[in-house]
Chain A
Amino acid sequence: MTDTVATAPDMDTRKTGRLALLSEFWSYFSENRGAVVGLWFFVFICLIAIFAGVIAPHSPTEQFRDALLVPPVWQEGGSWDYILGTDPVGRDMLSRLIYGSRFSLFIGIIVVSLALAVGIAVGLFAGFMGGRADTIIMRIMDIILSFPSLLLALALVAILGPSLINAMIAIAIVQQPHYVRLTRAAVLTERSKDYVTAAKVAGVRPLRLMFHTILPNCLAPLIVQAALSFSTAILDAAALGFLGMGAQPPTPEWGTMLAEAREFILRAWWVVTLPGIAILMTVLAINLMGDGLRDALDPKLRRT
């Protein structure tokens, strides 16, 4: 369907073409009710993250020494001051969860942008160059992929030192081979098509050919992969945080919060349950969206 853009003869039809594409996309996307629910929930989380400073009743790191492990408001002993209770050092759970959304979205955005940018560049290069450069690059990707991703990320963080930034870099490195493979595969199928030959004959320079002529026609699988790896990035970063190798306390990152709460697992259910629900709901929303994107963007799957 993106072919219409590339083959559109002049600017005018191109504009209406884009609008039509967008509405076509939306009609397919909104057919999937789950995807729409996921989208709304994702927007909701984004709003929470943006306005965390306004919504959160307390600071995420302020310790109320007279209110340790206060249960949520609906339980006996709960108070309206701390709607979702407090953690073992008296920090407000709700405020920490609200601020935590910032970290998760931030992690997702940074990891996906890094992996996408590097992956596309390397994939385009490999697909275009072919020959030995291609073989070497793809072997390196095979090597990265032969390690379980979480294990490799863990080892990379051990090298770089445990911190949120390093965790994000490690996860991006682990995810980037998927983008390289997708981009390369797409380039290989597109490269032999007539419109590319035409552009080549017309004297389009290689860089422009790569990024301007071919790349727009390879975007669909990359967008779907980006949605998928957005959620994997959040999960992996939370897992690293849980293992003590991601964001460090007192950062209100959801995985790190879980790690801190582990020893209170049988005494205070809310400190363990709530951050997990936050992770699950966010990841679920993104995956719902991802399914909708795949249905809307992948014509092959659409027909079945």
Chain B
Amino acid sequence: MFFYFLRRFGVLVPTFFGVTIASFAFIRLLPGDPVLLMAGERGLTPERHAELLKQFGFDRPLWQQYLDYFFGIFQGDLGNSLVTKKPVLEEFFTLFPATLELSLCAIVFAMVFGITAGVVAAVKRGSWFDQSIMGTALVGYSMPIFWWGLLLIILFSGILKWTPVSGRISLIYFFPQVTGFMLIDSLLSGQKGAFTSAVSHLILPTIVLGTIPLAVIARQTRSAMLEVLGEDYVRTARAKGLAPSRVVGLHALRNALIPVITTIGLQVGVLLGGAILTETIFSWPGVGKWMVDSIFRRDYPSVQGGLLLIAVIVMIVNLIVDLLYGLVNPKIRHTGG
């Protein structure tokens, strides 16, 4: 297992270098030089321009700039936001818990409903129930989630007035952020109604962000279950006279879940991409909305830092998923992989 970990980790190192180069290149590929970009529309005198170039080190050779950038990363220095002047790293991690909370809720939502739907569809293969579940899953998979979010807002916030339109919690509540997770913090605060408010703000974004993963997981679970249900050991278990629920739940599902785990891991990138749209629609103060805002504000250091951090997070999560996969499936860790 340890060598499996080392091997997987070894593959990540060159990718990490590549990602730093890509995010370094990002700001240099923009038309115009970085100082002019920072100055924005105000314009600069040529002297001031040269001075700033020197001050930021843009007059030095590219490789030197890259090395500075690279070693800066390890000291947590990703530059400062042009808008707030605060360090990008600090900005990112102030907002990240909001995205993490939303993504975790979405993936739990998707797993609970997706796996259940997939198992039921596989067991009742060919029935109208199976067909309608899979039909719905394909609709979910084809969903433009930004529109789906707007529809849910029209229905639940506009017509039924059940849920608020935007934000993480009602403005009447104020309490210190302990974990950064609104659900936990609102409970810790002990204020009446705070937790309910947090939940009601979270429901719609969770559904919107979870829709596509839910559909993918349901489809994957169904086909994995169908494959496993045809295996000899399942037939043996049935022949032994085990209860059908035990055969499906214990023998089949446990093995069917192995490929599903990978699918869930692959959804992390989808989630972070979806977070951009979901957070924009619901004004959710997370890193997705921050990235979009930074792009529009031409706050390039923030975009650059955000790209790097998000890519690293995706890489780490994929590594964890791979390791989990190796843990549940011994075949993988012993052969190549």
Contact = CB atoms under 8 A, between A and B. Distances in A.
Which bucket holds chain B's interface residue count?
A: 35 or more
B242 to A, nearest CB: 23
B296 A280 contact: no
Given A158-B295, A304-B226, A151 B144 contact: no
A256 to B, nearest CB: 12
Interface string B219-257: 000010011001000000000000000000000000000
B335 to A, nearest CB: 16
A151 B307 contact: yes
Contacts of B18: 139-140, 142-143
Contacts of B31: 159, 161
B123 interface: no
B115 interface: no
B276 A273 contact: no
B154 interface: yes
B140 to A, nearest CB: 10
A205 to B, nearest CB: 33
B307 A159 contact: no
B153 interface: yes
Contact of A284 (B29, B142, B148, B227): B142
A79 to B, nearest CB: 23
B292 A238 contact: no
Interface in A82-115: none
A304 B303 CA distance: 46
A287 B142 CA distance: 7
Given A147-B307, A147-B314, A287-B141, A275 B295 contact: no
B310 interface: yes
Contacts of B291: 151, 154
Given A239-B277, A283-B142, A304-B230, A146 B315 contact: yes
A221 interface: no
Given A150-B276, A151-B276, A287-B141, A142 B150 contact: no
B280 interface: yes
Interface in A130-174: 139-140, 142-143, 145-152, 154-155, 158-159, 161
A101 to B, nearest CB: 15
Contacts of A288: 138
Nearest to A258: B147
B144 A154 contact: no
B138 A155 contact: no
B26 interface: yes
Contacts of A69: none
Considering residues A148, A152, A272, A287, which has the most beta carbons from chain B within 10 angstroms of its beta carbon?
Answer: A148
Given A239-B277, A266-B158, A280 B139 contact: yes
Contacts of A243: 276-277, 280, 292
Given A149-B273, A276-B147, A139 B153 contact: no
Contacts of B223: 304
B15 interface: yes
Interface in B49-100: none
B26 A155 contact: yes
A229 interface: no
Interface in A244-269: 244-245, 255, 258, 262, 265-266, 269
A42 interface: no
B269 interface: yes
A231 interface: yes
B146 interface: yes
Contacts of A151: 272-273, 276, 291, 307, 310
B187 interface: no
